[in-house]
Structure formats: C-alpha cells, structure tokens
C-alpha cells in the first residue's frame, strides 16, 4: 500500500546536515532499528511527510529540507537565564548539556546550556537542529493500515502493530 494519512510507516534513513560547505552525517535509522511512525498526525516534520506521500514498501527516497521547512531558523533571542537556585540540591549542569524543561502550560522541551556562573545558567531554547538544512536518504520498509488502537492513541505500536506503548 502507499503512504497516506492513517498508515503506519517503517523506514530507514541517513540524516545529513551541511557544516562549512561539507556534508556531515548526523544519525540514522537502520533495517534492524527502523523509524516507525503514524503518518499524518503531526508527529513528524510536515515537509518530511510531504516528501514520503505516495511511496510504498521498497521505494527509496533522497530529499533535502531547508532549515525553514525543518526546525526553523535559529532565533538569537531564544536565550533564557535560569537562576542557579533552580538547581538547589543538584549539581549545576555542564556547558553543552541538554536540560529537560517545562513551561507554565506543561509543554516539555529541551534547552542546551550555553554558560554557567554563580548566579545564572544561560540556556539556548532553539531546537538543536535549528538553522540547519537537513538531507534525508533512505528506504521505505513497510506501509500498513493503522490499527484502531494506534489511531486512538495517536502513535504507532511498532512495525507489526503489536509493540508496546
């Protein structure tokens, strides 16, 4: 079957970005450990899904997403200063470490530590891949109808539909 909304897709990918004009390998999903997701429910980047629409098992793909169509351009104002007393009773985080944070509405996100001093921990709230063009290359391993459970839960339950939550 072809990829369309409410189908479960299993695929491999190699992800690259470009740094200083050079192609840089970032991560991959393999046949042994594929990316499995419910298509069309907003889990993946919209332009990523657009590029997969209509493909079927065995098809290969190779496409690029501009930063604006991926994780957005880097926002130089997306910097926050967290008071060190937020970290009372724990060690102060190291520069470049990733902190799991939550806003007042309960939205969870991650921030990279930029600097630490005796008063504040400065964090960058941009997505780690903001400002980067992404290059995806891979193969569609499997496409199937989502189960009623998967549709009600809003996510895939593994390549065969019987995986855990």
Domains and CATH numbers, the chain: 7-71+129-153 (3.10.50.40), 79-124 (2.40.10.330)
Output 22 or 54, whichever has higher pLDDT.
Answer: 54
Confidence at residue 163, expressed as pLDDT on a 0 to 100 scale: 65
Instruction: Name the residue among 119, 95, 100 with its Cα closest to residue 111.
Output: 100
Name which residue leads in pLDDT, 21 or 33: 33
Burial class (CB in 10 A: 0-12, 13-18, 19+), 114: middle
pLDDT, tens digit (0-9, with 9 covering 90-100), for 36-85: 999 999 889 999 999 999 999 999 999 999 999 999 999 999 999 999 99
Q: Which residues pair with 2 in a beta bridge?
A: 56
pTM: 0.80
Secondary structure of residue 56 in the 3-state scheme: strand
In this predicted structure, what is the pLDDT of residue 34?
97
Q: In the predicted model, what is the mean pLDDT of the chain?
A: 92
């Amino acid at each position: 079957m072809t990829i369309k909304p409410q189908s479960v897709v299993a695929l491999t990918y190699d992800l690259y970005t470009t740094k200083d004009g050079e192609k840089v390998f970032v991560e991959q999903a393999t046949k042994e450990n594929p990316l499995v997701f419910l298509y069309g429910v907003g889990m993946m980047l919209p332009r990523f899904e657009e590029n997969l629409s209509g493909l079927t098992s065995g098809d290969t793909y190779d496409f690029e997403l501009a930063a604006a169509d991926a994780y957005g351009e880097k926002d130089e104002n997306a910097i926050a200063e967290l008071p060190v007393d937020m970290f009372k009773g724990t060690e102060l985080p190291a520069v470049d470490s990733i902190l799991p944070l939550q806003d007042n509405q309960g939205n969870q996100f991650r921030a990279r530590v930029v600097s630490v001093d005796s008063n504040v921990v400065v964090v960058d709230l941009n997505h780690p891949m903001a400002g980067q063009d992404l290059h995806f290359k891979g193969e569609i391993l499997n496409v199937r109808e989502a189960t009623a459970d998967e549709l009600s839960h809003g996510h895939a339950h593994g390549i065969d539909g019987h995986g855990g939550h």
